[in-house]
Structure 1
């Protein structure tokens, strides 16, 4: 299929962007951390089954492989989703998606600080600063009252994004041969277990969940479409497009979040949301300017060879 990668990219952006709307909708019926844990109970089992089917290494074997699973479970799944689900209680789907779109910028910043072969140039530092300014513009804090519900909620979403970016870099520091599908599957299972423990610690109870049709649709969508199917598409595109192009999903997802938020939840994106997103995109472009330029040259080369 000629446009296969483009179609899958759009599908992935739509699935991951609309996930923010599904989270917001489901929070009406489930306690936040428990909701996140239930999402990955199902998604983790599905991904583990896929790892058994698709790889020859369906479980970790040595200390380094279990360590990378632990990092993934703690930072990429548990911390990221606990902060995100709690934070989304007080903000819109689009605003949360825009803050999360800062992840590639933060990942590059952490990589420059923690990986010995990475360096951040002056323009890269400027891009990182612009990205942070974008979050401040999006949050639009009131200096006289920084503890508003929206500001605190977006702050929690920002902590979620920090957790994901930090965990992504830590996994790169660990030398292991574990297939990414297997790492993701076990990280999901571990993350779900950790979130169940945190949920109990916070006093959340399964009995307080409302098992309505709307709640079950939101949970099923997040588990089956956004998590299981979404990650399978991600792995496929990662092999075909590479990490630079696939990172652009983070910048397409907020559009899907905004549209689905308007359609299903009657949310209204603000001018601050749009301005913050534009600044974060500018920051990403500055930080990744060389990689983007190389990727564009590669795309042009493929286009010429295909004529």
Structure 2
């Protein structure tokens, strides 16, 4: 059953993650890519650690089991740090449209890892159909040139695919381990780890802070990707992961291209192609297929239409012959 909290978490994660691509495109005019990621996680780590320190007790903040440690490593190392670093590096070798498609393989990769690591999460044929429709919809939204998919830089595609795989594997590992830490505490531990990893990769690639151009646009872009996409988005996403599981939580990455496309149109003045509208509808159809498997339609209709149900029951009792009019007690099971 899908409740309002789940819908709200999904919407917030999709909105904030989708805005990341718009802010990142604006911010890359001022920052080297990996250093941009590193500074993003620096700021996010400060905010999140301060929040966790004020919100939770020392006992709630302390990892006490191997599952807690693995959960923190998967959060900071795989889902946040490595996935984002590989995304920004891979984008240097591929267009943003191709990058969006490759990263939208995340919901496809998640069931593969879940089949190996999680006995409780499996995907049905209907679920696979919904995932396939969602992926087709993403491809229509970003609308890449087919020649870019077959004739581009294979290294860039491999790096982007590794980033999507890292995020999917990390999400499944978090569900796999028996962690006692809450998701906000995992994020508070994971963000400094992600920042350290990103700084290491930035230094290894030869980036320098002297290449940064500080301007109001740079501060605005860094502020968005740090606070909204680095704190609020991950709070919503990891809470969703704990509630719904890795497969359903990673469906967020099907909605992200839709949000980023609309954000680019509204903020950056980018044009929305007619084919993108078809893509939006296709993604919606994919979610409708997935949702029909998650929501018990008939019981809900019966609950919403009590008058029809009571009326039909009354009619049935009137029309049905009274063959059991004796005094035998009825069974309560």
Question: Shorter chain as normaliser: what TM range?
Answer: 0.7 to 0.9
Q: CA RMSD in A?
A: 4.0
Partner of 1:91: 95
Choose which of 208, 211, 214 in structure 1 pairs with 2:211: 208
1:171 equivalent in alignment to 2:174: yes
Q: Identify which of 60, 71, 75 aligns with 2:74.
A: 71
Q: Is the 8 A contact 1:108 1:287 kept in 2?
A: no
1:61 is matched with which residue: 60, 64, 70? 64
1:172-213: per-residue Cα shift (whole Å, max 9, x none)?
222221111111111111011011001101111111111122
Q: Does residue 266 of structure 1 match 2:274?
A: no
Partner residue of 2:220 out of 217, 222, 239: 217
Check the 8 A contact 1:140/1:272 in 2, yes or no: no
Q: Is the 8 A contact 2:76 2:194 kept in 1?
A: yes
Tell me by how many angstroms 1:264 deviates: 3.1
- Normalised TM-score (structure 2): 0.71
Deviations 1:3-33 (A, max 9, x none): 9987776555433211110011111111111
Which 10-residue stretch deviates more, 139-148 or 109-118? 139-148
TM-score (structure 1 length as normaliser) = 0.76
| Structure 2 residues without counterparts, runs of 5 or longer | 307-333
Q: Which residue of 2 aligns with 1:49?
A: 50
Once the 2 structures are TM-superposed, how far is the Cα of residue 124 of structure 1 from its aligned partner?
A: 4.4
The residue number in structure 2 matching 1:30 is 31
CA distance in 1, matches of 2:302, 2:204: 55
Equivalences for residues 1-307 of structure 1 within 5 A: 12-56=13-57, 57-88=60-91, 91-92=95-96, 100-126=103-129, 138-142=143-147, 146-147=151-152, 156-233=159-236, 249-270=252-273, 290-291=293-294, 293-294=295-296
**In structure 2, distance between residues paired with 1:62 and 1:246:** 25
Q: Assess, with a 3 A threshold, how the Cα gap between structure 1 residues 277 and 193 changes in structure 2: closer, same or farther.
A: farther
- Whether the aligned pair in 2 keeps the contact of 1:39 and 1:223 (CA below 8 Å) is yes
Q: CA 1:184/1:172 → structure 2, altered by over 3 Å: closer, same or farther?
A: same
Q: Please state whether the residue corresponding to 2:267 is helix, strand or coil.
A: helix
SS, match of residue 142 in structure 1: helix
Q: Alpha-carbon deviation of 1:115?
A: 1.8
Higher Rg? 2
CA distance in 2, matches of 1:152, 1:54: 43
For the residues of structure 2 that align with 1:40 and 1:96, how far apart are their CA atoms?
Answer: 21
> How many residues are matched?
297
Cα distance in 1 between the residues matched to 2:156 and 2:272: 16
Residues in 1 aligned to 2:13 and 2:299: alpha-carbon distance in whole angstroms:
23
Q: Which runs of 5+ in 1 are unaligned?
A: none
CA change 1:18–1:136 in 2 (3 A) is closer
Distance 1:6 1:60, change over 3 A: closer
Moved more, 193-202 or 229-238: 229-238
Deviation at 1:142, TM superposition (A): 1.8
Q: What is the CA-CA distance between 1:298 and the residue it aligns to? A: 8.5
1:43, distance to aligned residue in structure 2 (A) = 0.5
